[in-house]
Structure 1
């Protein structure tokens, strides 16, 4: 059973990723770490605890992390996730658990040292917490088993979701992403190139009828599905963050290859762009295992079957 920390900025797909991780039965979740991103940090804390409470897993601690990016101002995605980040759902749940005192980056360091070579970091928000942990503990890359990152856009420039060249998680703190990508950590990148192919439709959600999560998934995705309809002509939402959990559960869901990848932090036109040197023009050693293709249907089935366990 993989020991993980799940780092989130809990909007809708983060919430679905938490549920998938919890219900998989295959992951030992040491804790959830919260970071500013889709919504402000305090809302991330509330949302994460609400989702865990819905799943009956309030025993999993949620650690408060970075409340703002390393250098730039905070950037949020209310238009995709709703004013509260989870589409106005779970209004009847009041979190009951007090927050741990330990700062999220310190928790990452603590767990990596406690379980050297065993810990997987699943990063589905901006990479601020991990960048701070790396700055404090330079040996961290040698201590973790792997880092699986949802972020970036490597082969379809112009189809970003923040700038034409850029994906939200990287754009929200590109300086942090650059630190992480150059850290020497064993990183697998789950980018928009594959996550946009994993689309949860309204018809898919109907398959959850009778389960504990049907009402939540239907309600929480309303704003997200409207955004997708307006922009892509489809009544559904991409399963960005759940796929990142899925890649840990079953690596065979994706095809990967190693390349040198860097992050643009200076250009106004392409801040946050994830640049992959497919042709090895820079003559640098590969630093990222990039997901290039996904078995989307098999993943969507896995996601639905995992949440149906509560039927």
Structure 2
């Protein structure tokens, strides 16, 4: 898992762990929702909350591939996880290996058995592909939370752009054009999986209730301002959900490129639905989601 641990990344990590279905080789961190030192500390805290001491954490890129960093404090709070674990002391050590190098090592060792779950900007993977381009033929699949395709105009950074791609569009462009098996879990489907206070209350009395309630409070207030209802999109957990159960999403292979020049649409994921460019499909985009089944499974897994 490659994360920029804000609130939904934290929930995705817990969901992945509690699914008991994944062999998580490691977690790599990347600058994104908040600066890298916050991201890494948040990731260690979430693993501690889960009682998970065996998953190594590899710190990654401090800044984007080319551009200046942008962050989302207004959504994720001052520390990235709504200050929900302020009193927790981190004791788990970090790994010495740089995140991109760990991706390279994992690809060489596990080859097609390796799935990369990317729920932050794609800087670490772009750096890995730059250093060792041969790994593009080794990695099994890459599942990315990012972009907005069919619902262009409903972005969350620019009208046409989603945060993870916008935060490092150059890195995304590199990754999209390397011939990897990519599925893009975009805002088109993640905006259909909204967690409400009712979902949170179903966790009452369970291990993660206090964290989920505290962490999502400000996130839900942001949703209230944006949608007129207290709710928050489970962007990153849905990406994990697709890895657990591919039948959750309806996908279609298309040619997708990333805009890196226009100030009006920087970071836009442009999908050639009609094949006007005459280029081969390089990304599986998402056209539909079984939101009810996903939300039920997510709450059930976190509830233990």
Normalising by structure 1, we get a TM-score of 0.97
Runs of 4+ in 1 over 2 A off after TM superposition: none
The residue that corresponds to 2:23 in the other structure is 28
CA distance in 1, matches of 2:60, 2:68: 16
Stretches of structure 2 lacking an aligned partner (at least 5 in a row): none
Partner deviation per Cα, 1:54-83 (whole Å, 9 max, x = no partner): 000022111000000011110000000001
1:290 paired with 2:288, answer no
Q: Secondary structure at the match of 2:174?
A: helix
The residue that corresponds to 1:265 in the other structure is 260
CA distance in 1, matches of 2:231, 2:208: 16
The residue that corresponds to 1:175 in the other structure is 170
Match of 2:233 among 238, 259, 277: 238
Match of 1:157 among 152, 156, 160: 152
Greater mean deviation of Cα atoms: 257-266 or 231-240: 231-240
1:139 CA displacement: 1.2
1:13 CA displacement: 0.1
1:222 CA displacement: 1.1
Contact 1:49 1:58 in 2 (8 A): no
Alignment of 1:200-211 (within 5 A): 200-211=195-206
The residue that corresponds to 2:297 in the other structure is 302
Stretches of structure 1 lacking an aligned partner (at least 5 in a row): 1-5
Contact 1:171 1:273 in 2 (8 A): yes
CA distance in 2, matches of 1:305, 1:233: 27
Query: How many residue pairs were aligned?
Result: 304
The residue that corresponds to 2:249 in the other structure is 254
Match of 1:192 among 183, 187, 190: 187
Match of 1:212 among 207, 215, 219: 207
CA distance in 2, matches of 1:50, 1:227: 23
1:14 paired with 2:9, answer yes
CA distance in 2, matches of 1:197, 1:155: 13
Q: Secondary structure at the match of 1:29?
A: coil
CA distance in 2, matches of 1:209, 1:197: 24
Q: Secondary structure at the match of 2:26?
A: strand
1:126 paired with 2:124, answer no
How much is the aligned-residue C-alpha RMSD, in angstroms? Answer: 0.6
Normalising by structure 2, we get a TM-score of 0.99
The residue that corresponds to 1:3 in the other structure is none
The residue that corresponds to 2:58 in the other structure is 63
